[in-house]
């Protein structure tokens, strides 16, 4: 069969529009189908209905994930007619890059405008042996953590499967030819476990051998601590890593810093995390943002040690990344060292996260917040 045969009956077939409501967004706002919303199986079905040969699905996916194509015209082993038809029916990227910043440490941050005008952030962080992409899961956040810029404007909606994937592929195309994304963290704007229905299929795609093939052990989902959702996550997809944003060692202080804690409580969160470990065998990371004079005292370190010393756990201490709109600052280095020492004496594994991208507004939600609250730009409703 000739290349032209791939396109037979294409003009008689219906334009490929999504039949599945996979998101909270209004798909009718886009005249073409977002390609990344379609799974391998859905794409295969679309191609079969349009009388396009089956192996073209594999070719297309290789260009999208491994080939770093920026458009259908770059997919040179597909027939010209097929590339043109794909361009009429689909969009590979729906978002627009409205800001791209590169820090002195080579951290890169993208501010992306979605098709409905909302803004999200994606960050690429480089280490000598690791390149990590940090992605958002929602437009805004409803968790209300008082030290985080992500939730200052509230939550607007969940991101779709395609919007989650697009962040990673946008980041992948920032890399040099000899670089590849080795790690993925869902630690950007939003609460990932509040959007599991779209997050899980996106992560499965990125983990797939014909996706980006990022190993499950290199994918981390961060949550403020939603007990039922933590247990649900332990039963779906591969065994990803879980990071729990703890930030305080007792309910009184945590409820002040993380208001959603009033409806959960630390005991329920730790019990769910223990169940996650039981179901997956994956050690839990507990993230703890150090706020100078707030949660960084000797008594806080001792309380945290008491909570975690008997658990298979890792504490990731994060000195506060300053945001001008928030009244918090990082503790002094001696105070941080003292906190670390107390945890280690109790046998708790602890690391201090390196500050990345400080010169490009790399704190979670900071670049989006700055753009949304600019006096020349209205805040989206």
CB 354 within 8 A of CB 107: no
Give the active site residue among 37, 121, 163, 205. Answer: 121
Instruction: State which residues form the domain around 82.
Output: 3-91
Residue 246 lies inside a defined structural domain of this protein: yes
Least confident of 10-24, 69-83, 271-285: 10-24
Q: Which residues are annotated as a binding site?
A: 141, 145, 148, 190-191, 222, 245-247, 321
Predicted pLDDT of residue 380: 34
**Highest mean pLDDT: which of 11-20, 353-362, 366-375?**
353-362
Same domain membership, residue 182 and residue 86: no
CATH number for the domain that contains residue 101: 3.20.20.70
Q: Is 364 a catalytic residue?
A: yes
Same domain membership, residue 175 and residue 57: no
Evaluate if residue 295 carries a pLDDT over 90. Answer: yes
Evaluate if residue 18 carries a pLDDT over 90. Answer: no
Same domain membership, residue 144 and residue 44: no
Least confident of 43-47, 158-162, 302-306, 366-370: 366-370
Average pLDDT, the chain: 87
CATH number for the domain that contains residue 28: 1.10.150.530
pLDDT above 70 coverage of the chain, percent: 84
Predicted pLDDT of residue 328: 83
Residue 379 lies inside a defined structural domain of this protein: no
Same domain membership, residue 160 and residue 50: no
Predicted pLDDT of residue 34: 97
Same domain membership, residue 104 and residue 30: no
Which token pair is 308? 């975690």
| C-alpha to C-alpha distances, 325 to 147, 148, 149, 366, 373, nearest whole angstrom | 9, 10, 8, 9, 11
Same domain membership, residue 67 and residue 145: no
Same domain membership, residue 219 and residue 77: no
Evaluate if residue 368 carries a pLDDT over 60. Answer: no
Of the three residues 69, 91, 113, the one that is the final residue of a domain is 91
Same domain membership, residue 139 and residue 170: yes
Residue 322 lies inside a defined structural domain of this protein: yes
Residue 191, C-beta contacts closer than 8 angstroms, at least 6 positions apart: 137, 138, 141, 142, 143, 223, 224, 226
Evaluate if residue 164 carries a pLDDT over 60. Answer: yes
Same domain membership, residue 243 and residue 126: yes
Same domain membership, residue 142 and residue 61: no
Same domain membership, residue 163 and residue 138: yes
Residue 58 lies inside a defined structural domain of this protein: yes
Give the active site residue among 94, 134, 287, 364. Answer: 364
Q: SS3 sequence, 82-133?
A: HHHHHHHHEECCCCEEEEEEECCCCCEEEEEECCCCCEEEEEEEEECCEEEE
Residue 341 lies inside a defined structural domain of this protein: yes
| C-alpha to C-alpha distances, 301 to 290, 341, 350, 356, nearest whole angstrom | 11, 9, 11, 24
Residue 170 lies inside a defined structural domain of this protein: yes
Predicted pLDDT of residue 8: 38
Evaluate if residue 61 carries a pLDDT over 60. Answer: yes
Q: Is 134 a catalytic residue?
A: no
Residue 381 lies inside a defined structural domain of this protein: no
pLDDT tens profile 188-247: 999 999 999 999 999 999 999 999 999 999 999 999 999 999 999 999 978 999 999 999
Of the three residues 31, 58, 91, the one that is the final residue of a domain is 91
Predicted pLDDT of residue 148: 83
CA distance 369 to 191: 17
Predicted pLDDT of residue 354: 79
Residue 134 lies inside a defined structural domain of this protein: yes
Summarize the confidence of residues 138-151 as an average pLDDT.
85
Same domain membership, residue 135 and residue 7: no
CB atoms under 10 Å from CB of 177, counted, come to 6
Q: Which residues are annotated as a binding site for [4Fe-4S] cluster?
A: 141, 145, 148
Residue with tokens 């405008």: 113
Give the number of domains in the chain. 2
Of the three residues 62, 91, 120, the one that is the final residue of a domain is 91
Predicted pLDDT of residue 153: 76
Q: Choose between 151 and 221: higher pLDDT.
A: 221
pLDDT tens profile 306-365: 999 989 999 999 998 766 567 788 899 999 999 999 999 999 999 998 776 556 554 555
């Amino acid at each position: 069969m000739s290349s032209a045969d791939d396109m037979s009956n294409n003009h008689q077939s219906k334009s490929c529009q999504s039949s599945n409501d996979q998101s909270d967004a209004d798909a009718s706002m886009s005249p073409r189908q977002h390609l990344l919303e379609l799974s391998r199986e859905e794409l295969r079905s679309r191609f079969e209905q349009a009388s396009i040969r089956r192996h073209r699905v594999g070719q297309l996916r290789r260009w999208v994930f491994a080939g770093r194509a920026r458009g259908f015209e770059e997919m040179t082993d597909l027939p010209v007619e097929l590339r043109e038809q794909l361009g009429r029916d689909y969009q590979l990227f729906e978002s627009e890059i409205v800001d791209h910043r590169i820090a002195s440490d080579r951290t890169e941050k993208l501010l992306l405008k979605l098709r409905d005008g909302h803004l999200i952030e994606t960050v690429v962080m480089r280490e000598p042996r690791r390149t990590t992409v940090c992605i958002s899961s929602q437009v805004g956040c409803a968790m209300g953590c008082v030290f985080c810029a992500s939730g200052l404007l509230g939550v607007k909606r969940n991101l779709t499967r395609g919007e989650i994937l697009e962040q990673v592929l946008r980041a992948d195309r920032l890399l040099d030819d000899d670089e590849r994304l080795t790690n993925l963290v869902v630690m950007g704007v939003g609460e990932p476990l509040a959007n599991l229905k779209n997050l899980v299929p996106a992560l499965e795609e990125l983990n797939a051998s014909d996706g980006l093939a990022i190993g499950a052990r290199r994918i981390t989902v961060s949550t403020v601590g939603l007990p039922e959702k933590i247990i649900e996550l332990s039963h779906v997809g591969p065994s990803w890593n879980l990071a729990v944003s703890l930030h305080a060692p007792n309910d009184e202080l945590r409820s002040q810093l993380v208001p959603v804690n009033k409806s959960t409580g630390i005991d329920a969160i730790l019990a769910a995390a223990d169940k996650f470990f039981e179901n997956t065998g994956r050690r839990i990371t507990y993230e703890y943002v150090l706020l100078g004079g707030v949660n960084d005292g000797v008594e806080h370190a001792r309380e945290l040690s008491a909570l975690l010393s008997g658990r298979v756990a890792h504490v990731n201490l994060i000195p506060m990344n300053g945001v001008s709109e928030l009244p918090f600052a990082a503790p002094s280095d001696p105070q941080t060292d003292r906190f670390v020492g107390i945890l280690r004496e109790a046998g708790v594994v602890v690391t201090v996260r390196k500050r990345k991208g400080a010169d490009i507004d790399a704190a979670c939600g900071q670049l989006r917040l700055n753009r949304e609250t600019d006096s020349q730009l209205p805040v989206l409703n």
